[in-house]
Amino acid sequence: MADSTDPSLPVDPLRSIASAGPDPSSASASSGIDSPTASARSKPDRPTEPPIAPTTELQFLKGVGPKRAELFARLGLRNARDLLFNFPRAYETLEPTTRPEDLVEKQPATIAGNVTLIETKISRSGMHILGIVIDCGSMKVRSTWFNQSFLRSKLAEGFRVLVSGKPRLEGVRWAFVNPKLIVLREDEPQPEGQILPVYRLTEGLAQHHVRRASQRALEACVDGIDEVMPQRLLDQWRIVDIRRALRGIHQPADADELAAARRRLVFQELVVLQLALAMRRRKLLAECRAPALPVDSVIDARIVRLFPFDLTEDQRRAIEEIAADMGRAVPMNRLLQGDVGVGKTIVAFYAMLLAVAHKHQAVLMAPTEILATQHLKGLRRLLSLAKIDVGVLTGSTSDAERKRTLAGIADGSIPLIVGTHALIQQPIPFDRLGLVIVDEQHKFGVKQRAMLRQAGIDPHYLVMTATPIPRTMTMTAFGDLDVSTLRHGPPNRQPLHTYLGNAEQRDKWWTFFRKKLDEGRQGYVITPLVDDADDGNLTSVKTAFENLTNDVLADYRVDLLHGRQSAVEKGDAMFRFATGETQVLVSTSVVEVGVDVPNATVMTIESAERFGLSQLHQLRGRVARGNHPGYVCAFAEIGNEQAQQRLDAFVGTTDGFELAEIDFRLRGPGDLLGTRQSGLPPLRIADLIRDAEVVAEAREGAIRLLEHDKDLTSPDCERLRRQVLVRYGKVLELGDVG
Ligand code: ADP
Ligand code: MG
Predicted pLDDT of residue 589: 85
Predicted pLDDT of residue 14: 31
| Cβ atoms of 685 and 266 closer than 8 Å | yes
User: Does any ligand 1 atom lie closer than 6 A to the CB of residue 345?
Assistant: yes
For the segment 508-528, the average pLDDT, to the nearest whole number, is 96
What's the 394 CA to ligand 1 centre distance in angstroms? 24
For the segment 261-274, the average pLDDT, to the nearest whole number, is 95
Angle between the N-to-C axes of helices 344-357 and 297-304, in degrees from 0 to 180, rounded to the nearest 10: 130
> Residue 538: which pLDDT band, with cuts at 50, 70 and 90?
low
> Residue 301: which pLDDT band, with cuts at 50, 70 and 90?
very high
> Residue 479: which pLDDT band, with cuts at 50, 70 and 90?
low
Mean pLDDT is lowest, of 234-248, 445-459, 635-649, for 445-459
Task: Using most ligand atoms within 8 A of CB, pick from 307, 316, 342 the residue to mutate for ligand 1.
Answer: 342
> Residue 651: which pLDDT band, with cuts at 50, 70 and 90?
very high
Collect residues with CB below 5 Å from ion ligand 2: 594
Average pLDDT, the chain: 84
Q: Name the residue at shortest CA distance from atom 23 of ligand 1.
A: 311
What's the 397 CA to ligand 1 centre distance in angstroms? 27
Atom of ligand 1 nearest to the CA of 344: 2
6: three-class secondary structure by DSSP: coil
User: Does any ligand 1 atom lie closer than 6 A to the CB of residue 493?
Assistant: no
Sorted by where each starts, the structural domains of the chain and their CATH numbers stand as: 94-191 (2.40.50.140), 231-287+696-728 (no CATH), 297-328+342-465 (3.40.50.300), 496-672 (3.40.50.300)
Q: What is the DSSP string of 564-606?
A: TS-HHHHHHHHHHHHTTS-SEEEE-GGGTTT---TTEEEEEES
Name the nearest CA neighbour of 27 among 36, 38, 17. Answer: 38
Predicted pLDDT of residue 660: 79
Predicted pLDDT of residue 184: 79
Alpha-carbon distance of 73 to 65, in angstroms, equals 12
Angle between the N-to-C axes of helices 369-382 and 344-357, in degrees from 0 to 180, rounded to the nearest 10: 60
Please tell me whether the overall predicted TM-score, pTM, comes out greater than 0.85 for this model.
Answer: no
Question: Which residues does residue 141 pair with via DSSP β-bridges, in sequence order?
Answer: 134
User: Does any ligand 1 atom lie closer than 6 A to the CB of residue 342?
Assistant: yes
Task: Using most ligand atoms within 8 A of CB, pick from 337, 339, 596, 628 the residue to mutate for ligand 1.
Answer: 596
pLDDT surpassing 90 at residue 247:
yes
Task: Give the model confidence (pLDDT) of 115-135 as tens digits.
Answer: 999 999 988 877 889 999 999
Strand bridging mode 128-135 / 109-122:
antiparallel
Neighbours of 562 (CB within 10 A): 22
Task: Using most ligand atoms within 8 A of CB, pick from 337, 339, 345, 654 the residue to mutate for ligand 1.
Answer: 345
Torsion angle (degrees, nearest 10) of CA 417, 420, 425, 430: 0
Most confident listed range (189-193, 284-288, 397-401, 549-553)? 549-553
Predicted pLDDT of residue 737: 46
Q: Where are the beta strands (DSSP E) in 59-108?
A: 90-93
Q: Percent of the chain beyond pLDDT 90?
A: 47
Predicted pLDDT of residue 478: 59
- How large is the greatest C-alpha to C-alpha distance in the chain, in angstroms? 94
| Cβ atoms of 164 and 179 closer than 8 Å | yes
- The CA radius of gyration of the chain, in Å to the nearest whole number, is 31
Which residues lie below 8 Å from residue 517, measured CB to CB, with a gap of 6+?
Answer: 523, 556, 583, 584, 602
| Shortest-distance ligand to the CA of residue 618 | 1
What's the 434 CA to ligand 2 centre distance in angstroms? 21
> Residue 24: which pLDDT band, with cuts at 50, 70 and 90?
very low
> Residue 670: which pLDDT band, with cuts at 50, 70 and 90?
very low
Alpha-carbon distance of 518 to 516, in angstroms, equals 5
Mean pLDDT is lowest, of 50-59, 171-180, 467-476, 521-530, for 467-476
- In whole angstroms, what separates CA 35 from the centre of its chain? 24
Exposure pattern of 191-205 as b/e (b: 16+ CB <10 Å)?
eeebbbbebebeeeb
Alpha-carbon distance of 522 to 582, in angstroms, equals 8
Predicted pLDDT of residue 614: 83
The residue ranking higher by pLDDT, 159 or 36, is 159
- The one-letter amino acid at 180: K
Most confident listed range (98-102, 183-187, 379-383)? 379-383
Most confident listed range (316-325, 381-390, 630-639)? 316-325
Q: Percent of the chain beyond pLDDT 70?
A: 85
pLDDT surpassing 90 at residue 275:
yes
For the segment 424-437, the average pLDDT, to the nearest whole number, is 87
Predicted pLDDT of residue 596: 78
Task: Give the model confidence (pLDDT) of 573-604 as tens digits.
Answer: 988 999 999 999 999 988 766 577 889 999 99
> Residue 12: which pLDDT band, with cuts at 50, 70 and 90?
very low
pLDDT surpassing 70 at residue 361:
yes
DSSP 8-state class, residue 291: -
Angle between the N-to-C axes of helices 242-250 and 207-221, in degrees from 0 to 180, rounded to the nearest 10: 160
What's the 439 CA to ligand 2 centre distance in angstroms? 7
Predicted pLDDT of residue 640: 73
- CA torsion sign for 292, 297, 302, 307 is positive
pLDDT surpassing 70 at residue 736:
no
User: Does any ligand 1 atom lie closer than 6 A to the CB of residue 538?
Assistant: no
Alpha-carbon distance of 603 to 586, in angstroms, equals 10
User: Does any ligand 1 atom lie closer than 6 A to the CB of residue 617?
Assistant: no
| Cβ atoms of 587 and 526 closer than 8 Å | yes
Phi, psi of 76 (to 5 degrees): 80, 15
Which residues lie below 8 Å from residue 569, measured CB to CB, with a gap of 6+?
Answer: none
| Cβ atoms of 369 and 442 closer than 8 Å | no
CA triple 338-341-346, angle to 5 deg: 80
Predicted pLDDT of residue 141: 95
Strand bridging mode 416-420 / 160-165:
unpaired
Name the nearest CA neighbour of 82 among 232, 195, 250. Answer: 250
The residue ranking higher by pLDDT, 368 or 99, is 99
- The one-letter amino acid at 328: R
| Shortest-distance ligand to the CA of residue 440 | 2
pLDDT surpassing 70 at residue 198:
yes
Give the number of residues written for the chain.
738
Phi, psi of 140 (to 5 degrees): -105, 140
Predicted pLDDT of residue 26: 37
The residue ranking higher by pLDDT, 479 or 455, is 455
Task: Give the model confidence (pLDDT) of 211-232 as tens digits.
Answer: 989 999 999 899 999 999 999 9
Name the nearest CA neighbour of 632 among 476, 526, 507, 480. Answer: 526
- CA torsion sign for 344, 346, 349, 354 is negative
Angle between the N-to-C axes of helices 613-620 and 641-652, in degrees from 0 to 180, rounded to the nearest 10: 30
Q: What is the DSSP string of 22-43?
A: --GGGGT-SS-SS-SS---PPP
Burial of 25 (0-12, 13-18, 19+ CB in 10 A): exposed
Alpha-carbon distance of 463 to 439, in angstroms, equals 6
DSSP 8-state class, residue 114: E
Name the nearest CA neighbour of 307 among 243, 383, 242, 421. Answer: 383
User: Does any ligand 1 atom lie closer than 6 A to the CB of residue 620?
Assistant: no
> Residue 632: which pLDDT band, with cuts at 50, 70 and 90?
very high
Alpha-carbon distance of 153 to 393, in angstroms, equals 57
For the segment 546-568, the average pLDDT, to the nearest whole number, is 91
Mean pLDDT is lowest, of 39-43, 374-378, 702-706, for 39-43
